[in-house]
Structure formats: structure tokens, C-alpha cells
Amino acid sequence: MTFIESTLSAVVSKLGISSAEEPPYYHPLDPLTASEIARSVDAIRHTANGARLWFKSIQLVEPPKAILVPWLDEYAAGEAVSRLDRTAEILVGRRHSKGADWLVYQISLPETGSSQIISAEPVPAGQHVPPDMGEMMAAEEALLNNPTFKAAIAKLDLPSNAKVVADGWIYGADTLDATPRSIPFMVYLSFSDNPDTCHYAAPLPIVPVISADTFELQRLDYCPIYGKGDKTLLDLDGRFPWEAYVPNEYDQNIRATAGLSSREDIKPYRVLQPEGASFTLEGRVIRWQKWAFHIGFNYREGIVLSDIRYDGRSTFYRLSVSDMTVPYGDPRAPFHRKQAFDLGDIGAGLTANELALGCDCLGEIAYLNFDHFSQDGSPTLQRGVVCIHEQDDGIGWKHTNFRTNRPSVTRSRILIIQTIITVANYEYIFAWRFDQAAGISLEVRATGILSTVAILPGETSPHGNVVSPGVLATNHQHLFSVRIDPAIDGHNNTVVQEDSVAMPFDKANPPSDNKWGVGYTVEQKAITKSGWADAAPEKNRVFKITNPNKVNPVSGKNVAYKLVPAPSQLMLAHPESIAYARAEFGEHHIYVTSYKDRELYAGGLYTNQSNGDANGLRSWVARDDNVDNADLVVWHTFGLTHNPRVEDFPVMPCEIHMIHLKPNDFFTASPAIDVPASTQAFNQSQLHNPGQHLQGDNDIEEKAKANGLNKQGCCA
């Protein structure tokens, strides 16, 4: 048995295999079932001819829009629908002594009978397929057993109880030349037998690079260890001062063992829904508070929401987090290549957490699972990768008539569709939020552990912050690209940029239409050709996605949803750098392109070690297509620039960012006006101290009775 074969066997054992039941409902956008995955794998195995196959990813090929839209309309109208053809797309490698050949298969999935290979295309030359968990584990095992690496570690004169931990970390590129597919590793020390100890508090200044195809050591990159300059471990006068490291633990059990107790003054907070949740699920179609939509999931994007309708009216065809990049700001080698594309480089679905009841979501929770496969094609089941629940979001709307002192008040209830991914050290929480006022928001939370590197004690650096003795956390950015495929009362839409601007005013000679200098107007500019725009908070800039063929009978304006963009800082890398070229969505906040089937990933199909030729969003914008009264796609880039704080370590508190899609002249009145009043009889709140009466409590009670109110001022 070869090293690759023995490692593959171990990987499958570690990952575990399982299967899921067939869903009770059919929908053409449902993720592939365990049965469909098995049939697809069998079709490829029959053509293997003895080749060592490495199965990397599989997902549904969504039906063409021209075919799917009529089906969705019939389904929404409650009409009988026929089964659409299902197709799987699989990325598979044929490994050999010199590496691997990678092919993309498309497999037909008839309702009955065997699956057939439709096509098998090689991955384009110069493009690198993403790694996967099996490759990461195999590469880590190969590294830790490599004699050259072990010799380099021995020279550090580490204590006998120190263990080396290696995290695979997908670097970028610094050349336009072809490079071998590789897996760099961030290397750390652990002084504990507990696998949950925080090894990120003890980084080693070496980045070994392993071939992703042969698992051989390609090279050892030595890292700068001073705050400034390029001097590495090899330039150090004396041995590496590992004694500077101190434990910096987050695990509650480890902290308790060390005498670091948790807070004891927090009392239970329980979300109880005695009558159950207000949503219903039919397979993966959810219905809640006039909303209806399909919840998909795939290995790359994670959650995909489709056919989103409010009270029967179409709003959006498809919503997803398309891509993201995390460029680091230390210009010294090898850190200058440090730029991850977490979705394209490995996948939101493959890194999704199995969410736990009472931990990641509160209340009455529904969970969705995800079927995939391991590297030998065996089925895997990730349980609970999506959690669905309701949440109280404070006051929805309120008005008190000052003459009668009678309030009208509602609570805002929101529906949350959430997934959490762990990409080595970092976590991202993606939560789609639907409200009763027909609004949709995407909340992104960044948490987890900072990516750390070694720095000599007493040194500081302009490229980051020392967060623990000998530990430098590098400055970096997180940029997300959200793909918004609108269907605002139909699929022919126009994006209109809208600014609020002050009217001209000359105090000495005031214009007749702004005599007092208080006027402002709203300026609109339609985006008619594929292109880009930027947020401008000083102009209150929003982007209205309008239907130019539908007019609101009240306002006389076109029905629309408006995107309230997040005016984040964009790519800080120089426009002529390869890092900048790789981030095809990092130049502007807003892009508008014409719709094309399968143009889903803003960074391009293959982001791993890409160098700016991934054929992504930049090339789609350059087509100069018509996007006026057309089937179009809006892409929004937002994120955060993260200059680490000491308070971000060992695990950073969540950084929260949101974008919003709100109806704008889509309705003839507030869609939330029919939400029931908030009452004590419904909510059953309790006084903090029942024995303590409010001042004038009797007067309040009598007034409440006279006005039909309870003592809290809510409608009785």
C-alpha cells in the first residue's frame, strides 16, 4: 500500500461515513441526496480502469434559469409540477507517482435507472483545484514525519514536552508564472497533551511548504522574527527564545484546571415557545410570516436561498455569499503571499460546523443536514449545518397618541437562517435575517483565533500587534462578496443609484427654489451597462433595484427593493499587485452584471494560488452588457479591516457587519402594519423584583384600566 493509499484509508476512518434518508418532498434545487451522490460516484468508478481516484467535491448543477423559472412559478401557484432533470458536478483526481490529473465530471441523475457521464473536462492548465480536508490531513502527517523538517525543528532546542502542531493555511501567489499546487503550514508549539490547548500562543518562525499532489516537502520558508526587517531564525545570534511563550487558553475545562474560573453571576436566559415555532418546512421550502423560499446548501457557498417571495410576490431569485478574501498586510516574505479565499480555496459547506442545540441558536430550532463524500467516494453526513429559528428583535413599530396616551406597539420577530464555518483558526457566522416588514438582512460575524506569527520578546511591529509574549497578530482584511440575483416583481430589473444632495445656495443672491438654504434633492442615475459603483455615506447613497415595468399606485414610482450598502474599506493592496488582481471583487462596493447561468463565484472558479486570471467578476463587468430593464445580478463587496487588539486574543469577540435589502415603494402601505399588538397576555414578562412596587403604582393601574391598558403601557 502506498503512502497516499494508507493515508486515504486513515482519513476516511477519521472523518466517519454515514448516509441520510431521501427527502419526503421534491424540489429541483434540493442539494444532492446520499443516493444521488452514490450513483454519481459509481458512474465514475466504472471508468477508473484501475486509477487511484481522489474525490474532492460534488454539488448540484442548478437547472438553467429559462427552465427553472416557469417551474417555480407553477410551484408557487400550487399547480402540479413535473420533475426536472438533475445533474451532478464532481471534481475528481486521478493520482499517480508524479502528482494528479484533475477532471470535472457532469453526471445525469434520472429518477430511475443508472446515472450516466455527460462530460469529463480537465481542469484548465494553470488553474489549481482547491485542497480538501483529506489532503490537509495527509499533508500534515507527511510533514510531521519528514526528516528535513524534523531536523529543522531539532535545531530549535525545544523542551522534551513540546509538541509541534502544523495548521494547513492556503497562501496566495506572488508570480504570474506557473507554480506547483502546494499547501503551506503555519507551525506552532504545544506544551500540553490536551488537543484543545491554544497552540496559537506559541508560533514557530518556519513555514514549510508541502506538495498537494505528492505530499513531499517542497521547501522551508523561514519567517522574519524582528518587528521590522527581514532577518529570520537563521540570522538569530543564539537559540530561539521559546521560553517567552505563556499559556493563553480559551477552553473552559483547561482554564478550570489552571484555576481560571468562569463567571458565576450570570443566570439562565431561556427562549421558550410554548406553542412552537411560527414557521413550517416542506422539505427545504420554508414559510413564515408571508415569506416563502427554498433553502439550498452546497460545498462552496454554503447557504443558498432561492425563489424568495413575500405574500406571493417575487422579490429575489437567488441570494448567497459568493466569495471572500482575507489579504494580510505584512509585506515581508513569506507573509506577502498570505491571502486566503476561504470559500473558493476550500468551501463554506465543507467547513460548516455541526451546530448544537442550546449553543449556537436559542429557541425552537430546525436543523438541515448536508450530504457529501470523503476522498474515496464514501458518503458523509454533516448534521445540523444550518439552523433555523425565530428571534425577538425589539420594537417593530410604535406610536403613542399623546392626547389619549394610548400606545400602539408591536414586537419585531425575525427569522434567522444561519451557518457557521471554521477555516483553521477563524470562524465566520453567516445569518440571513427575514423580518415582518418584508426586509432581508445578511449579518456576518467574524470570530475565532487570530492568525499568529513569532516575534522576538520586546519587539513591536508596524505590520501588526503583539497580543501575547512573543506572539504577533498581523494586520489584515476580510472582504465578502454577496451575490444578489433580483426578481423584483419579475426578472427584468434596473439598478438605480440614488444620492441625497444639498440644493445650491448663495446667501448673497439666494435662488428662488432654495431661498432659505434648507433644501435638498434626491438625484438618481440608472446603471444601464454592466459596471461598478461605490458606497458614499456622505450622500446617503443607496442602490434601488427597480422593476421599470411596474408602478406603485400610491407614489407613482417604480416598485423596488433598495440595497443599503456597507461602506467598508476596500482592498489596501496596491492596484498593480498580484494580491489586488486576485481579488476580482475587491475594487468597488457594487458591481452590476448581466445574468448568465453558472456565473456564481466573484473570485472565479479556481482561486487557489490564482494570480489574477481566474475569469471572475472583473471579466464579466468588462463585457459592457446591457443591464437596463434586463435580467441582471448585483454584487456587493463589504467587510472589515482588522488591526488586532490584545483584547482579540485568545479568541476574538465577534465583529459584526450587516447589509440590508428593504422594500422601496414595493407595497401600498407598511407591510408590518398587520403585525399583532404586543401584549402582556401574549408575552408574559415578569417584574425583576415582584415585591418592589413602582412609584405611583396604584395610579398607573387605575389609568391603565381607564384606557384599556395594562401597567406596562401595552394594549390589554
pLDDT tens readout for residues 509-562: 877 889 899 999 999 999 999 999 999 999 999 999 999 999 999 999 999 999
pLDDT: is 69 or 687 the higher one? Answer: 69
Q: For 683, left (φ over 0), alpha (ψ -120 to 50), or beta?
A: alpha
| Residues pairing with 94 in the sheet | 53, 101
22-122 and 133-258 have identical folds:
yes
* pLDDT, average across residues 392-406: 96
Question: What's the full length of the chain, in residues?
Answer: 716
- 491/481 Cα distance (integer angstroms): 22
Alpha carbon 435 to its chain centroid, in Å, reads 20
DSSP state of 205: S
Provide the Cα torsion 70, 659, 443, 385; round to 10°.
20
Residues of the chain with pLDDT > 70: what percent? 93
pLDDT: is 528 or 7 the higher one? Answer: 528
- 613/150 Cα distance (integer angstroms): 37
Query: Do you find a cis peptide bond into 469, omega within 30 degrees of 0?
Result: no
**What letters, b where the CB count within 10 A reaches 16 and e where it falls short, cover 182-214?**
bbbbbbbbbbbeeeebbbbbbbbbbbbbbbbbb
Q: Residue 608: its pLDDT value, please?
A: 95
**What spatial distance separates the first Cα and last Cα of the chain, rounded to whole Å?**
76
Active site residues: 342, 426
Cell of 178: 506557473
Q: Please name the CATH architecture into which domain 133-258 falls.
A: Roll (3.10)
Q: How confident is the model at residue 614 (pLDDT cuts 50, 70, 90)?
A: confident
For 209, the enclosing helix (H) or strand (E) is strand 206-211
| Residues pairing with 120 in the sheet | 105
The ranges assigned to domains in the chain are 22-122, 133-258, 279-328+339-450+475-506+518-664
| Residues pairing with 421 in the sheet | 352, 428
Q: How confident is the model at residue 21 (pLDDT cuts 50, 70, 90)?
A: very low
Helix (H, G, I), strand (E, B) or coil at 74: helix
3-state secondary structure 693-716: CCCCHHHHHHHHHHHCECCCCCEC
**What letters, b where the CB count within 10 A reaches 16 and e where it falls short, cover 639-654?**
bbebebeeebbbbbee
Helix (H, G, I), strand (E, B) or coil at 580: helix
- 594/467 Cα distance (integer angstroms): 46
pLDDT tens readout for residues 114-170: 899 999 999 999 899 999 999 999 999 999 999 999 999 999 999 989 999 999 998
pLDDT tens readout for residues 54-70: 999 999 999 999 999 99
- 329/336 Cα distance (integer angstroms): 7
pLDDT of 99 strictly over 70: yes
Q: Residue 8: its pLDDT value, please?
A: 42
DSSP state of 264: S
The domain defined by 22-122 folds into Nuclear Transport Factor 2; Chain: A, (3.10.450)
Helix (H, G, I), strand (E, B) or coil at 266: coil
Cell of 400: 403613542
**What letters, b where the CB count within 10 A reaches 16 and e where it falls short, cover 302-330?**
bbbbbbbbbeebbbbbbbbbbbbbbbbbb
- 414/363 Cα distance (integer angstroms): 12
Q: Which of 80-84, 242-246, 332-336, 703-707 has the lowest mean pLDDT?
A: 703-707
pLDDT tens readout for residues 164-201: 999 999 888 898 888 899 999 999 999 999 999 999 99
Whether 325 contacts 583, CB under 8 Å: yes
Alpha carbon 293 to its chain centroid, in Å, reads 19
Cell of 426: 477563524
- 123/132 Cα distance (integer angstroms): 16
Helix (H, G, I), strand (E, B) or coil at 25: coil
| Residue of 145, 164, 169 whose CA lies nearest to 153 | 164
Does domain 279-328+339-450+475-506+518-664 match CATH 3.30.70.2660? no
Regarding beta strands 291-298 and 285-288, do their DSSP bridges make them parallel or antiparallel, or are they unpaired?
antiparallel
Interhelix angle 133-144/147-154, nearest 10 degrees: 60
pLDDT tens readout for residues 639-649: 999 999 999 99
